[in-house]
Amino acid sequence: MKRNTMLVMTAALLGALVLAGCSYSATPSGTTGGGTTGGGATSSGSTVSMKNFAFNPSTIDVVVGATVTFTNDDTVQHNVAGESWSSGPLDPGQSYTATFSNAGAIAVKCLIHPSMTMTVNVK
The pLDDT, as a whole number, for residue 84 is: 87
Q: What is the pLDDT of residues 49-64, one digit of tens each?
A: 999 999 999 999 999 9
Mean pLDDT of the 35-59 span? 75
Number of domains forming the structure of the chain: 1
Higher-confidence position of 72 and 6: 72
78: left (phi over 0), alpha (psi -120 to 50) or beta: beta
SS3 109: strand
CATH number reported for the structural domain that contains residue 41 in this entry: 2.60.40.420
Nearest to 102 by CA among 47, 48, 63: 63
Domain carrying residue 30: 2-122
pTM of model > 0.85: no
Tell me the pLDDT band of 42, cut-offs 50, 70 and 90: low
